[in-house]
Amino acid sequence: MDKLIIEGGVPLTGVVHVSGSKNAALPILMGSILLDEPVTYTNVPDLRDIRTTFKLLELLGCPNAFENGQVTVTPGALSPEAPYELVKTMRASVLVLGPLLARLGEARVAMPGGCAIGARPVDLHLSALEKMGARFDLEDGYILGRCRKLNGAHIHFDFPTVGGTENLLMAAALADGETILENAAREPEVVDLARFLIACGARIEGHGTSVIRIQGVPRLGGCTYRIMPDRIEAGTLLAAAGITDGELLLTDCPFEELDAVIAKMRQMGMEIEPTADGVLARRSCALRGVDVTTQPFPGFPTDMQAQIMSLMCLSEGSGVISETIFENRFMHVQELVRMGADIRLSGHTAIIRGVQRLAGAPVMASDLRASASLVLAGLAAKGTTTVQRIYHLDRGYEHIENKLNAVGARIRREAE
């Protein structure tokens, strides 16, 4: 197990490239199960969750070869079982349910793991797939799904679930007849999955809106597809420019997909502008506290809540963050307090009063985005910050210390 040791207090300046999106790549890679021809993906980030997905696809009968951000997957004789040994580390593993049922008529998938940030139940996935003709049992920690053939259905989600929308998009692509998804998730990663499926021959309309229509087709073929850039990594890098009073130019930055994040950061006193070469981010004045409420897209993303909290810790005045998506997503608060932050919790709300400086301290990451918030705090803190349990960080950020060191950070990785 590794840790990061950060010597803080250095403004970050220079050019940094935004990697491919983890949250887009995972469902798109799972979509390989639907195909009967080889498929090539580019702009694939080299992350722990991605590597786990490659292993899972291999076990399911989709051998693959990954090199320099490109992977070719060759679907073959499929197996229906996603074992606990792989699924326990990655919540997105449940996204094989829809594709396996569509191709094989059966699936045996271990109940998923991942970050401990909330319940995130899969019941929305299962109840929707049941409307398409699937039957499910729970046995020894595994979800057992069966169907003769998935049929199109009219499905209304109680909540715009990203994973549920993705699972149903893939299942419906090969189902008989038309499937309508109402109150569907509108996240850019859902749109990227739909675009990929369309490139393979799927018939989908309405992606990016709350109502998606899928007309099932008999088969899907291969293609070459580029994964979208990671809007959460980009948002984290924007925060790094602000918290260190630096100036960063982000290349391949998904500017339009970051509207809600950029609006709040500008409100805090940052200048963030698109240029011919990328997106330029810097501070125009002292940071100011703001109020933030996490919401499904196009609202402020829950995956940026922890990072903007770190930024607010060094802002003038106070701000309030209300977390409406996950019930356990304030576990980074106590670690920030150890570094000198002034934060009070009341239920799903955090009240942050800005302080003049943070002090380096040993801290422990509890989940992926909490890890990022602690790295950001360490970059700005006076002295040395040691971030432990960074295996969470490696699940979602590609070689993050190398990227930050290239623009002036002082970070080294050591074994625990």
Active centre residues (catalytic): 115
Q: What count of residues does the chain have?
A: 416
What's the CA gap between 372 and 84, in Å, rounded? 27
49 annotated as belonging to a binding site for a ligand: no
Q: Is 272 helix (H, G, I), strand (E, B) or coil?
A: strand
DSSP assignment letter at 347: T
What's the CA gap between 233 and 279, in Å, rounded? 13
Query: What amino acid occupies position 230?
Result: D
Q: How far is CA 332 from the centre of its chain?
A: 18
Phi, psi dihedral angles at 103 (to 5 degrees) = -90, -40
| Residue 359 in tokens | 């002090």
325 annotated as belonging to a binding site for a ligand: yes
* Angle, helices 123-131/97-104, rounded to nearest 10 degrees: 30
DSSP assignment letter at 18: P
403 annotated as belonging to a binding site for a ligand: no
Q: How far is CA 244 from the centre of its chain?
A: 24
231 annotated as belonging to a binding site for a ligand: no
What's the CA gap between 96 and 33, in Å, rounded? 8
Q: Is 414 helix (H, G, I), strand (E, B) or coil?
A: strand
What's the CA gap between 290 and 310, in Å, rounded? 12
The H or E element that residue 363 is part of is strand 362-364
Range list of β-strands (E), 86-235: 106-110, 135-139, 142-146, 154-156, 178-182, 203-205, 211-215, 224-226
193 annotated as belonging to a binding site for a ligand: no
- With helix as H, strand as E and coil as C, how does 280-332 read? EEEECCCCECCCEEECCCCCECHHHHHHHHHHHHCCECEEEEECCCCCCCCCC
22 annotated as belonging to a binding site for a ligand: yes
218 annotated as belonging to a binding site for a ligand: no
Q: Which residues are annotated as a binding site for UDP-N-acetyl-alpha-D-glucosamine?
A: 91, 120-124, 303, 325
Q: Which residues are annotated as a binding site?
A: 22-23, 91, 120-124, 303, 325
Q: Which residues are annotated as a binding site for phosphoenolpyruvate?
A: 22-23
